[in-house]
Amino acid sequence: MKGFRKSIFLATTENQHFDVLIIGAGPIGLACGIEAQKAGKSYVIIDKGTLVNSLYNYPAFMTFFSTSERLEIGGVPFMSISTKPNRNEALEYYRRVTEKFQLNVRLFEEVLNCKKQESGLFQVATSKANYEAENVIVATGFYDVPNLMNIPGEDLPKVVHYYKDPHYYAFSKVLVVGANNSSVDVALETYRKGAEVTMVIRGSEMGPNVKYWVRPDIENRIKEGSIKAYFESNLKEIKEHSVIITTPEGEVEIENDFVAAMTGYQPNFEFLEKLGVTLDENKVPNYNPATMESNVQGLYLAGVVCGGMDTHKWFIENSRVHAEQIMKNIVGKS
């Protein structure tokens, strides 16, 4: 959810009332909808994009680190060809889960504002309708806001923070920034489509979370020189046809066609703050880990949005339980 617009409540539309309004139709948002349905609560799931929008925007050939059973929600088995499913299998699975439970999902509808009234109800305005809700669950993930490098040239058209398909970069000079899974995937996939790949890595080695079956591949490609890597280095400037890299040996300027800045993403903290959620110095939101209720009574957080800047803390597999925790608390109150 990019930005948080000024309050816009559509006066011509009658408010629709729900026990629970869920912002975000990713796997955790869907899990929350399933639990609300099981508890007999009226609910709606709203997303500004498509179903499981973040997964849809993952690289076309991405394979999950988690096994399929750890990605399951609602008790529905996730069958995949391999132990670790790919993006397309995940999209199919979550769509089928949505169909099975006939979840009340409203897609391509952006939440513009959400305010808690003196009555205790939340008034929510979207790009299409107005809603009233007794409880709101924020399950928006972290994929909308990339971590910027804040260097000259980052706004050039050749710079991307999201990567989809390697064919686009065939026979081009590609610079990849980062040393974790997304960076490694981009480097290997574009290299195998004929790109001349260079990596800029801030540390002295590849990231500790790189998938174990991929790590030997990238390390061997670097060792043999098929992929050039500058360790303990930083990208200093991006020019139209080149880039400048700061290395331990000094600055290096190399020819370049595309920059894939795989520098990670962060939750929309501005959105959380305008909901009234307080954040600590590490941008971790204030919530009760037992109930997932934030400092705003009736406003709950679920999934990776709970981790602040540490987006490696919560995944689908370890935050599925948030849905059950939240609904248990809501049912207990009622």
* pLDDT tens digits along 173-191: 999 999 998 999 999 999 9
Give the chain's mean pLDDT: 92
Tens digit of pLDDT for each residue in 3-19? 433 333 333 346 799 99
Which is more confidently placed, 146 or 314?
146
Domain span holding position 136: 16-145+265-333
Cα dihedral sign, 126-129-132-134:
negative
Predicted pLDDT of residue 4: 38
**Is 45 inside any structural domain?**
yes
End-of-domain residue from the set 261, 285, 320 = 261
**Cα–Cα distances in angstroms (integers) from residue 48 to residues 1, 23, 111, 179, in the given order:** 7, 9, 7, 30
Task: Kindly state whether residues 124 and 152 are assigned to the same domain.
Answer: no
Number of domains in the chain: 2
pTM comes to 0.84
Residue 255: give its domain's CATH number: 3.50.50.60
Helix (H, G, I), strand (E, B) or coil at 271: helix
User: In this structure, what is the dihedral angle of CA atoms 280, 286, 292, 297, given to the nearest 10 degrees?
Assistant: -160
**Is 116 inside any structural domain?**
yes
Task: Kindly state whether residues 274 and 133 are assigned to the same domain.
Answer: yes
Which residue bears the tokens 């360790």?
A: 231
